[in-house]
Structure 1
Amino acid sequence: MAAPEMERAPMAYPRFERPQGTQTRPSQLDRPYYNHNFNADRTYHIGPYHPPRGFQYRRWAYGDILPGIFWGQDYWLTDYWLFGLDVPPVGYEWVRYGPDALLVNITTGEVIQVVYGRFF
């Protein structure tokens, strides 16, 4: 597992401002840009996390395969821009996994990027 890095500002829009064209997503994944594990530079409180039955926290990293039960639509962060997260490419979604934000391929479950400790 690669060591977490200091978090950088999201690509394509200023942090904490609603991006223009929030529905305009990159059509292809730029792996060198996305494949990172970050420690959050800021945390957000958005309410309790309601994990699936049998949940036990695990620290995921890019390249891991997240089981489907953890990336169903109930866990999608569709307002990702409010949390300073990158615009996800087509076919990818940000999901909340306990205190972390994970960018996941919604077909395969592959974790593309992680922001550890984004939520408390």
Structure 2
Amino acid sequence: MNKILTATLAAVIAGSTVGVATAAEAQSRHDRQDRRELRQDRREFRQEQRQDRQEFRQEQRQYARWQQAQRRYNAPRYVAPRGYAVRQWSYGQRMPSYYRTNAYVVRDYGRYGLRQPPQGYHYVRSGNDVVLTAVATGLITAVIAGLFN
């Protein structure tokens, strides 16, 4: 009986050490897999950030804040609103509400080589320049200098 008990005990001890080694190996494999997945996640995150920055730059180039007109167009004589003089506008300023009336809004932008303004914006003529402004607030988002003769 002693021999059987000793053999059983030896088998249990041997099996438990193998089980511990197997569990340790499994944990090690699991850790390596986690690290691989973490590296892959970081790569994907950096790639998405690069794509976001690239798209942002493309949008910025699409509507540059200040542009010199590539071509000049003939247009009717410009008459400034009463009480206002022709001046140089720049990005971030607000145009007075009087400029946002139909007399100064450029509706045929395609004729002058301008892109269609985004929703909620329109082109306003000020002297020989054209300014892209928000319809509601008059906030200037782009200036195209020297578009008209």
> Could you tell me the TM-score, scaled by structure 1's length?
0.69
The yes-or-no answer on 1:60 pairing with 2:84 is no
Matches within 5 A, 1:9-28: none
Higher fraction of strand: 1
Residue of structure 2 equivalent to 1:38:
67
Aligned residue pair count: 91
1:88 aligns with 2:93: no
Aligned twin of 2:25: none
Which of structures 1 and 2 has the larger relative contact order (alpha carbons within 8 angstroms, sep 6+)?
1
Structure with bigger helix share is 2
> In structure 2, the residue corresponding to 1:89 is in which secondary structure?
coil
Letter in 2 for 1:117: G
Pairwise CA RMSD of aligned residues?
Answer: 1.6
Deviation >3 Å, runs of 4+ = none
Instruction: Give the structure with higher Rg (CA).
Output: 2
Deviates more, 1:47-56 or 1:110-119: 47-56
TM-score (norm 2): 0.57
Offset at residue 46 of structure 1 (A): 1.1
Gaps (5+ residues) in structure 2?
A: 1-57
Unaligned runs of 5+ in 1: 1-29
Match of 1:6 in 2: none
